[in-house]
Amino acid sequence: MTTKPTIGILYVGIGPYIRLWDDFYSTCKKNFCPELTKHYYVVTDAQIEHGEDVTLVHQDNLGWPCNVVFRYLFFLRIKELLAQYDYLFFFNGNTRFRKCVAPEEFLPTEEEGGLIALTWQQGTENPDNYGFERRPESAAYTPFGTKSIYLQSGITGGRTTEYLQLLERCHDMTMADFQKGIIPVSHDESIYNKYMVGRPAKLISSLYGKPSQRDRGHTAKIVFQRKEDILGRSWLRRYKNRPHTNTWFRKLLRKLGLVS
């Protein structure tokens, strides 16, 4: 008898973003590979009621954009726990599962590279028009002319071995930039795109990850809800409009215990 694969779900709900958790959890449990065993790891600074299939991972609120930039570090801190699963998937906090997603639709094989990759491109666009990091001093530097599809980091994952390798390398690139006082242009997404250049992956279309306002026909199985509708437009604007100085970088690194 073939053993069914197990899945670890990674989620970040720090600060007001934890308000998105209930809808994510209920729809993921119902519609994402419902026949498989899933366990949820919620990185948060909150205390929430939860069942046996949820583990809270405490993380102080580092503010914007560090709650996103250091996502790889947050997950690596529980690397030993994550290693027990066959597959690992990260989903943005505002992800909602509208329709059932079967394992064969989503889980990548070793032959496919062991990773999934979400793209909204149709395959005909010029990659130079997308938001890769173009500064040569950044570890995420991707020069113009690179023939690569631009990927969305709102959903990432794959087989555990390959995904833990991704987390390790992306964390290394994040730290290399941060030590120089660099925040990549698209934060964790720039790092992720750099890592994925030239790597095989199971491409998944916007059917499995589309902004809800673009899914007028409700055809997508997975959507990203508008954060403004839940968290408020004015709060998001204030949250994301904060200056970053060299002193700020150093203080944050000390807070994370990454420098003395």
In tens, the pLDDT along 123-180 reads 667 877 888 999 999 999 999 988 888 999 999 999 999 999 999 999 999 999 988 9
Please state the pTM of the whole predicted model: 0.90
**Ordered DSSP codes for 191-212:** HHHHHHTT---EEE-GGGSEEG
Domain ranges of the chain: 6-125+152-177+201-245
Backbone angles phi, psi at 171, to 5 degrees: -65, -40
Q: Nearest Cα to 90, choosing from 43, 49, 58, 45? A: 43
Q: What is the mean pLDDT of residues 192-197?
A: 96
> 6-125+152-177+201-245: which CATH topology?
Spore Coat Polysaccharide Biosynthesis Protein SpsA; Chain A (3.90.550)
Asked if residue 124 lies in contact with residue 195, where contact means CB atoms within 8 angstroms, the answer is no
Q: How far apart are CA 208 and CA 217, in angstroms?
A: 14
Q: How far apart are CA 117 and CA 196, in angstroms?
A: 9
Asked if residue 12 lies in contact with residue 74, where contact means CB atoms within 8 angstroms, the answer is yes
